[in-house]
């Protein structure tokens, strides 16, 4: 019994002396692979323009802070819709653009709906509205995006909760 701790100590010593060598080899191989891959992908990218950025909302839109603000935004959103969107979008009907019901199946949060409402051109991930032309690039202020997005999400939520 008294000599077993010594044995353990011995065998661990033996192991630990090999670890740095093994590590050095592994790190060396990894570095070589990464270096070769880096050179290759640089060469590949040389003639290709940078890919378009993903459709990340350019601003974060805050949810209404209270009931008064929600009501104010709903009113403002209704008039943004009436003045700038109603020619092409309706709650349920397919017009020149997809219905807001379809749209709110894809975009659930305020910032996404607001940003998508400007019809961004770099929309790689979601720009697959089959059978539709491109929507016009709209310049909407942050508050207009926020108001119309609040209104769209509220109206489509009401529809869903309603009789259909």
Binding footprint of ligand HEC on the chain (CB under 6 A): 80, 84-85, 87-89, 96-98, 103, 113, 116-117, 119, 123, 126-127, 129, 132-136, 138, 140, 148
Give the closest residue to 134 by CA, choosing from 153, 118, 149. 118
Q: Which is closer to ligand HEC, CB of 29 or CB of 52?
A: 52
Nearer to ligand HEC, 39 or 121 (CB): 121
CB of 49 to ligand HEC, least distance (A): 22
Closer CB to ligand HEC, residue 85 or residue 150? 85
The CA–CA distances, whole Å, from 52 to 49, 56, 91, 119, 122 equal: 9, 11, 31, 15, 6
Q: CA 11, CA 19: separation in Å to the nearest integer?
A: 13
CB of 164 to ligand HEC, least distance (A): 21
Q: Is 132 exposed, middle or buried (0-12, 13-18, 19+ CB in 10 A)?
A: middle
């Amino acid at each position: 019994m008294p000599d077993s701790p010594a044995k353990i100590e011995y065998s661990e010593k033996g192991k630990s002396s090999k670890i740095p060598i093994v590590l050095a080899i592994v790190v060396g191989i990894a570095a070589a692979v990464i270096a070769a891959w880096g050179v290759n992908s640089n060469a590949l990218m040389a003639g290709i323009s940078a890919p378009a950025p993903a459709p990340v909302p350019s601003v974060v839109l805050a949810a209404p802070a209270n009931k008064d603000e929600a009501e104010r935004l709903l009113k403002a959103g209704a008039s943004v819709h009436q003045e700038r969107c109603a020619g092409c979008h309706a709650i349920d009907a397919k017009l020149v653009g997809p219905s807001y019901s379809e749209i709110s199946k894809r975009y659930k949060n305020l910032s996404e709906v607001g940003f998508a409402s400007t019809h961004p051109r770099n929309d790689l991930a979601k720009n697959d509205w089959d059978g539709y032309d491109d929507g016009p690039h709209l310049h909407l202020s942050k508050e207009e995006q926020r108001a119309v997005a609040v209104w769209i999400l509220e109206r489509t939520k009401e529809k869903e909760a309603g009789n259909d």
